[in-house]
Structure 1
Amino acid sequence: MKLPNLNWVNQDSPYLQQYREGFRLLSFSGEMEDTFNRYHIAVVLVRMRWALLVALLLMLLFVVLDALSLPEAVRNQTLAIRLGLMSPMLLFCWLATYNRALRPHLQLIGGATSLAEGLGVAGIIWVARQHEFPLPYEGIILITVFFYFLTGLRFVTAALCGWLTFFAYLLVEVLSGLPGEVLLYNAVFLGSANLIGCFGCYFLEYATRQNFLAQGLLQDLAEKDFLTGLLNRRAFSERAERSWRQAQREEQPIALVMMDVDYFKRYNDHYGHAAGDAALRAVAEVIGRYARRPLDSTARYGGEEFVGLWYGLAEADILPILETLRCEIEALGLVHTQSDVAPVVTLSIGLAWLVPQTHQSLEDGLRLADVALYLAKEQGRNRVVSKRGANRQP
């Protein structure tokens, strides 16, 4: 996926910061790696299911082929490996892709399965060599290609499985007394398959990580306000709507807050738009720090107006938070000689606190917060005014 124009992306975006840091070692920092792990599982899940299903069908085909063509001594031990180890591991891994609880562990499960398949093939070759049966070694190359490119394994896991299988095969052939010149050619071919697999798997994961960052940057472009880095109005509405419905189901209180920078037009006219933008960024940074919980959110609603939602807080808890926020904005000390309220930039805050009822909508709550904001301005600005919903829990 092509990266968007980086000049359009909010410069505080964690996706942009990660892109600039780079990821040549195929690792992101902190929570970004956890987010990528979830993304990667979603990307490879369908491919992994089909690859494992095809592998299971091929395994059954080899079982039939072994049963029809191998001498009894070789056949019995070979079938024991295929049916006792390799097939059950493939089946378990395939079923794990349908279990949500196991999906976070699919790299580990897939890696264990791939290693079991590789060691299983090495074991079959060992059985054949012990009975002096001329079983071709190319099966080990097939299994190598399988887990590098088809199972959705990431580079480190796939490379570990590939090279462990390689050394297991070499050990089998050395212990079996394979002639040196034959062993050399076989080792070169299998080693080359691993090298090709490593390069291919590395660049596949690198491209996947690039796509992940590109999607994150595009999402930031779609959801974040370019100037302040807060959510934009559309993204806030979507998230607030989900929180509103959850609050209705769980009968939890919602605090909807409308905030307005006092006399901001005068500030812009007097100090210029560049200073106005810097002031909005400073105010937004403070506001954003007060909404860190998963169901809380803040956004730039338009111009100098901001909006916020806090989930599950009592009115007695949210009021001190908003008062502290207001004080912190004033404490920024952004000189505003054109304000009739204070010599610095200040914020008026309107709070609507309510337990959403089934007949109420998010728009009803926002209208109530807007009324509270109007009252805050009417009463002199630079203050918090609260309005309670008509229907609320005691």
Structure 2
Amino acid sequence: MKLPHLDWVNQDSPYLRQHKDGFRLLRFYADMERAFDRYHTDVYLIRIRWALLVAVFLMGMFALLDALTMPSEVRNPVVLLRLGLIVPMLLLTWWSTYHERLVKHLQLIGGFCALAAGLGVVAIVGTARAHDFPLPYEGLILVIVFFYFLAGLRFVAASVCGWLTFLAYLSMELLMGMPAETLIFNCFFLATANVIGSVGCYFLEYASRENFLAQGLLQDLAEKDGLTGLLNRRAFNEYTERSWRQASREQVPVAVMMIDVDFFKRYNDHFGHSAGDEALKKVAGVLAEHAKRPLDVVARYGGEEFIGLWFNVSEMAIREIAEDLRRGVEQLHMAHPQSDAAQVVTISIGIAYLTPRPHIPNEEAQRLADVALYLAKENGRNQAVLKRHGY
């Protein structure tokens, strides 16, 4: 996926920061890495399920071929390894992809299964060697290709499985006393398959991480305000609609704040638009610090106006939050000599406090908060006014 024009993205975006810092070691920052884990699982889950079922089918076909072509002393242990070890491990991993708790650990589970399958195939080749049956070692190359390109394993897990399988094969052939000339050629081709697989898997994961960042940057462009990094108005309205329905079902109160920077036009006229943008960023930073619970959110509503929603909060708590916001902006000490409210940048806050009902649309909360904001401005600004529904 092509990255959007980076100048359009908010410069504080974690996706942009990660893109600029790079990830050549295929590792993001901690929070971003956890998000990528979820993204990778969601993207590859269906493919992993089908790959596992295909592997089960092919292993069954090989077992049938073994049963038809091998003498009994070789056939019985080989078929037992295929159907008693490898196939159950594949099916167990396939089953785990349908359980949410296990899916979170799919790389670990899949890596363990892949390694067990690789070692199982090495054991099959070793069993045939022990009985002087000419079973080709090339089956291991098929297994290694599966590790790197079909199993949905990422670079580290796939490489560990591929190279441990290679070492297991080398150890087995040394124990069996394979002639050096033959062993060198076999190991060379097996190692080459690992090198090709490792390089290919690295670039596949790198591309997957690029796609993840591109999607994140596009989502930022669609949902975030480019200046402040807060949600934009459209995204806030969508979020509010969902939160409003949830609050109505659970019958818990919500508070909606309309926030306006006092005499901001005068600030822009006096200091210039560049300084005005920096002031808005700092105000947004204060607002964001007080909306960190999972269901609380703040957004830039337009111009110098902001809006916020706090979910399941008491009236006393929301009054305290509003005062913390007002005081926090004032304590930024951004000089504003043109303001009639104070000598520094301040905000006025209108609060709507209510418990949603099925017959009350969420727009009512915003209307009520707007009325409260008007009263705060009429009363001299640099203050918060709260209104309850019906009062």
Scaled by the length of structure 1, the TM-score of the pair is 0.97
Deviation at 1:270, TM superposition (A): 2.3
Task: Name which of structure 1's ranges 131-140 and 279-288 shifts more when overlaid on structure 2.
Answer: 279-288
C-alpha distance after superposition, 1:74-130 (max 9, x if no partner): 111011111111000111111212222211111011101110110010000111011
CA–CA distance in structure 2, aligned partners of residues 389 and 35 of structure 1 = 39
CA RMSD of aligned residues (A): 1.1
Deviation at 1:173, TM superposition (A): 0.9
- Does the alignment pair 1:179 with 2:179? yes
CA–CA distance in structure 2, aligned partners of residues 103 and 361 of structure 1 = 39
Counterpart of 1:108 in structure 2 is: 108
Counterpart of 1:380 in structure 2 is: 380
- Structure 2 residue runs without a partner (length 5+): none
C-alpha distance after superposition, 1:45-93 (max 9, x if no partner): 1111111111111111111111111110111101111111100011111
Counterpart of 2:193 in structure 1 is: 193
SS of corresponding position for 1:307 = strand
Counterpart of 1:316 in structure 2 is: 316
Task: Name which of structure 1's ranges 263-272 and 368-377 shifts more when overlaid on structure 2.
Answer: 263-272
CA–CA distance in structure 2, aligned partners of residues 315 and 346 of structure 1 = 23
Deviation at 1:273, TM superposition (A): 1.4
C-alpha distance after superposition, 1:292-338 (max 9, x if no partner): 11111101000110000111110111111110110111121222222
- Does the alignment pair 1:227 with 2:227? yes
Counterpart of 1:326 in structure 2 is: 326
Counterpart of 1:252 in structure 2 is: 252
Alignment of 1:285-324 (within 5 A): 285-324=285-324
SS of corresponding position for 1:259 = strand
SS of corresponding position for 1:258 = strand
CA–CA distance in structure 1, aligned partners of residues 164 and 361 of structure 2 = 60
CA–CA distance in structure 2, aligned partners of residues 228 and 135 of structure 1 = 65
Counterpart of 2:26 in structure 1 is: 26
Deviation at 1:271, TM superposition (A): 2.1
CA–CA distance in structure 2, aligned partners of residues 77 and 316 of structure 1 = 73
CA–CA distance in structure 1, aligned partners of residues 148 and 300 of structure 2 = 46
Counterpart of 1:273 in structure 2 is: 273
Of all paired residues, the percent bearing the same amino acid is 63
CA–CA distance in structure 2, aligned partners of residues 389 and 97 of structure 1 = 48
CA–CA distance in structure 2, aligned partners of residues 174 and 267 of structure 1 = 80
C-alpha distance after superposition, 1:233-255 (max 9, x if no partner): 01111112211111112111111
C-alpha distance after superposition, 1:117-159 (max 9, x if no partner): 1001000011101111111111111000001100110000000
Counterpart of 2:371 in structure 1 is: 371
Alignment of 1:339-378 (within 5 A): 339-378=339-378
Counterpart of 1:6 in structure 2 is: 6
Task: Name which of structure 1's ranges 276-285 and 382-391 shifts more when overlaid on structure 2.
Answer: 382-391
Task: Name which of structure 1's ranges 179-188 and 43-52 shifts more when overlaid on structure 2.
Answer: 43-52
C-alpha distance after superposition, 1:245-275 (max 9, x if no partner): 1111211111100000111112222222122
CA–CA distance in structure 2, aligned partners of residues 314 and 233 of structure 1 = 25
CA–CA distance in structure 1, aligned partners of residues 62 and 367 of structure 2 = 69
Counterpart of 2:213 in structure 1 is: 213
Deviation at 1:389, TM superposition (A): 2.1
Report the residue type matching 2:373 in the other structure: L
CA–CA distance in structure 1, aligned partners of residues 110 and 214 of structure 2 = 27
CA–CA distance in structure 2, aligned partners of residues 340 and 377 of structure 1 = 11
CA–CA distance in structure 2, aligned partners of residues 28 and 145 of structure 1 = 26
Counterpart of 1:97 in structure 2 is: 97
Task: Name which of structure 1's ranges 335-344 and 52-61 shifts more when overlaid on structure 2.
Answer: 335-344
CA–CA distance in structure 1, aligned partners of residues 43 and 24 of structure 2 = 20
CA–CA distance in structure 2, aligned partners of residues 390 and 185 of structure 1 = 85
- Structure 1 residue runs without a partner (length 5+): none
Deviation at 1:390, TM superposition (A): 3.5
C-alpha distance after superposition, 1:194-222 (max 9, x if no partner): 00000000010011011111111111111
CA–CA distance in structure 1, aligned partners of residues 331 and 129 of structure 2 = 81
CA–CA distance in structure 2, aligned partners of residues 83 and 56 of structure 1 = 9
SS of corresponding position for 1:292 = coil
Alignment of 1:142-181 (within 5 A): 142-181=142-181
CA–CA distance in structure 2, aligned partners of residues 300 and 281 of structure 1 = 10
SS of corresponding position for 2:100 = coil
Alignment of 1:33-182 (within 5 A): 33-182=33-182
Aligned residues: 391
